[in-house]
Structure 1
Amino acid sequence: MQLNYVRSTSRLHLYGLLLLIRPRQWLKNAFVLAPLLFSGKFLNLGEVYAALIAALLFCIASSAAYIINDIHDIERDRRHPQKSVSRPLASGIISKLEALHLLALLYLILACAWFFVPQTVYVIAAYLMLNYAYTLVLKHQPVVDIFAIAICFVLRVYAGAVALSVPLSGWMAITTLCLALYLAAIKRRQELVHSGISGRYVLKNYSIALIDRYAQKSATGAVMFYSLFVMSQNQKMIITIPLVLFGLFRYWYIVETLDGGESPTDVLIADKQIMLIVVLWCATCLWILWPLKA
C-alpha cells in the first residue's frame, strides 16, 4: 500500500513537472523552422540538424520563461479559480525550490549550448530578456503586451535564419509579426470574454470591439505581406495563399462560433480542419520548393 502511494506521488510529481515546462506550447517553436523551409535547405541533413537544434533550444528557453512567469505570478494564480488548480506551483504539486532547480538546469543547458552555437544562443538570450521584461512590466502595458508576444515569434524565425547562416527576409519577418499580432489579439479577446478584467490586469484597458479591430488589421496585414513574400520568393507559391486565407477564416470561426482561440496551440491540436490546412500548406510548400536543393 505504501509502495502504491509512492508510485502515485511520483506520477503526480512528474505530471507537475510536465505542466511546469508546458510541452504543448513547444508547437510555437515550429516558427524556428520557417527559414529552413523557405531557404530550400531542407534536403541538406546538416542544415536540418542545425535548424532542429535551434528549435530544441527554443523549447528549453520557452520552458524557462514559463517557469519564471509562474514563480512571479504564484500568489496571483493561487487566487485564480482555474490557475490555482492547473498551475503546478499554485496548486502545490511542485514546490518553488524544485521549480528553481529545474530553471537552473535549463539555464545550464543553454549556457553549454553557447559553446557550440553562440549566434543562436545570442538570439535566445534576447528572447529570454524580452520574456523577463514581459513578466515584470510589459504584460501590464496595453498594446505593448501584444507586441511583446509577437516579437517573441519574430525572434524564433530570426533564430532559425541565424542557425542556417541565411539572411532573414524582411517580408517573412513582417508576415510573422502580423500573424503573431493576430493570434495575440485573439488570445486577449478570449481572455476578456471568459474571465473579464479579473483575468489579467491589462484587460481593463481593452474592449472586445478594440481587440477585434486589432485582430482584423493584423490578419489583413498577414495576408498582404505573406502574398508579397511568396510572390518575391517563388511565383508558384501563390497557390498557398488560399490555404492561408482558409486557415484565418477557420480560426475566426472557432473564435466566434465555438468560443475557442484563447490558446492557439490547443486550437491546432484539437481542430482537425486547422491541422489539415497546416499539413496541406507545409506539403504544398515542400512540393514547390523541392527543386531548390542546397
Structure 2
Amino acid sequence: MFQLLRPKQWIKNLLLFAALVFARKLFDPQAAITATLAFVAFSLASSSVYVLNDLIDAERDRLHPEKRHRPIASGQVSSSAAIALCVALTLAALGMGFRIGFEFGVSIVIYLSMSHFYSTLGKHIVILDTMLVAIGFVLRAIAGALAIDVPFSDWFVLCTLFVALFIALSKRKAELQAGGANSGARPVLAQYTANSLTAFTGTSMAAAVISYSLYVQDVLAENGGQFRRLLLFTVPIVIVAIFRYFLLVDSGRAGEKPEETLLKDRTLQLSILGFMFIAISAFYGGA
C-alpha cells in the first residue's frame, strides 16, 4: 500500500523549501516548521493524485513492462481500497493546508484540481500535458512562499516553469526513444515527433538559463552586497546541470524517471550541492 503513495516522487515537493532559503528564513524556527508542514501537506496531496492516476491508468499500465507491477495494475490493491486511500489523503492534505494558512490551502485546492484534470483529460492533449506538469512545479514554488508569508520573485517563478517544462519534455523524449509511441501506455506520445521534442526541450532549456540569470540580476539590483554577488557563480552551475541532464536524455541514459536520475547521477548531485552551498553563502554570509 505504501508503494502506491510513490514516496520517491516526494522529492519534487522539496521545491516548497526554496522560498525558505531565498527569503533568508532558513534559520527561523517557526518558518522552518511551517515549511516542513507545508511539505508534508503537499506530499499528501501529490500522493492522492498518484493514487487516482493509477486507478485511471490501471488498464494501460498493465501493457507497460514496468508499470504493470504497480499495486493497482498488478491487483495487489483493490480499486475500492485505492479510492478510500485517495479520499483520505485528499482530506488530510486540505485539512493541514488550510490550517497552515488560507492562501496556502487554496494553492493545494488549485494543485489538486489541475492535477485531476491532467489525470482525466489533460495528459491526452499534446503540449498541454507537459505544460500542466510544469505548472504543478510552479504551484509548489509559489505555495512555499505563501506558507511562510514571504514575497516571491517573478523571474524565479518563470525559471521554475521553464526548468520543469524542460524536464517534462525530456521525459516525453525519453519515452518516445524507448518506443513508447506504440506501447499504448501513453497515447499522447503518438502526437509528438523526435524533432519537435528536441526543439521544445532546447527552447525551454535556453529559457530556463536566461530567466534564472535575470533572477540573479534582479536580486543583485536590490542588494548587491559582497556576499550576495556570489550568486553569479550559481549561473554556470545551473547551466552545467541542465546541459548534463539534456545529454543524459539525448544519449538514452535517463529521462523516463527524473527523480531516479537525480538520485543516481553524481554530476547532478554535485551541481545541486554546489548550488546550495553558494546560494546559502550568498544569502546568509555576513548576515
**Would the TM-score normalized by the shorter structure come out above 0.5?**
yes
Q: Percent identity?
A: 34
Question: How far, CA to CA, are the matches of 1:26 and 1:166 in structure 2?
Answer: 23
Question: How far, CA to CA, are the matches of 1:35 and 1:202 in structure 2?
Answer: 34
Question: How far, CA to CA, are the matches of 2:53 and 2:119 in structure 1?
Answer: 6
- 1:103 aligned residue: 86
- 1:154 aligned residue: 138
**Could you tell me which amino acid in structure 2 is paired with residue 57 of structure 1?**
A
- 1:53 aligned residue: 37
**Could you tell me which amino acid in structure 2 is paired with residue 286 of structure 1?**
I
More off after superposition, 125-134 vs 69-78: 69-78
Match of 1:91 among 51, 74, 78: 74
Question: How far, CA to CA, are the matches of 1:46 and 1:115 in structure 2?
Answer: 15
Match of 1:221 among 207, 210, 213: 207
Q: CA RMSD in A?
A: 1.4
- 1:14 aligned residue: none
What are the superposed Cα offsets for residues 214-266 of structure 1, whole Å, 9 maximum, x if unpaired?
Answer: 00010100000100101211333111011101101211221123521111101
Q: Verify: 1:39 aligned to 2:39, yes or no.
A: no
Q: Verify: 1:207 aligned to 2:193, yes or no.
A: yes
Deviation at 1:128, TM superposition (A): 0.5
Question: How far, CA to CA, are the matches of 2:113 and 2:141 in structure 1?
Answer: 17
Match of 1:185 among 169, 190, 212: 169
Deviation at 1:88, TM superposition (A): 0.7
**Could you tell me which amino acid in structure 1 is paired with residue 81 of structure 2?**
E
Match of 1:142 among 126, 131, 134: 126
Contact 1:138-1:144 within 8 A present in 2 as well = yes
**Could you tell me which amino acid in structure 2 is paired with residue 123 of structure 1?**
S
Deviation at 1:291, TM superposition (A): 4.1
* DSSP 3-state at the match of 1:115: helix
Sort the Cα spacing of 1:115 and 1:213 in 2 relative to 1 into closer, same or farther, 3 A.
Answer: same
Contact 2:134-2:165 within 8 A present in 1 as well = yes
Gaps of 5+ in 1: 1-16
TM-score normalised to structure 2 length = 0.92
Query: Following superposition, which runs of at least 4 residues in structure 1 exceed 3 angstroms of deviation?
Result: none
Match of 1:171 among 130, 155, 177: 155
Gaps of 5+ in 2: 221-228
Q: Verify: 1:284 aligned to 2:278, yes or no.
A: yes
**Could you tell me which amino acid in structure 1 is paired with residue 94 of structure 2?**
A
Question: How far, CA to CA, are the matches of 2:160 and 2:23 in structure 1?
Answer: 16
**Could you tell me which amino acid in structure 2 is paired with residue 255 of structure 1?**
V
* DSSP 3-state at the match of 2:126: coil
More off after superposition, 167-176 vs 73-82: 73-82
Deviation at 1:184, TM superposition (A): 0.5
Deviation at 1:35, TM superposition (A): 1.0
* DSSP 3-state at the match of 1:89: coil
Contact 1:188-1:203 within 8 A present in 2 as well = yes
Query: What is the aligned length?
Result: 276
What are the superposed Cα offsets for residues 176-219 of structure 1, whole Å, 9 maximum, x if unpaired?
Answer: 00001100000000111113313311111101110011000101
TM-score normalised to structure 1 length = 0.90
Question: How far, CA to CA, are the matches of 2:86 and 2:135 in structure 1?
Answer: 23
Match of 2:109 among 92, 116, 125: 125
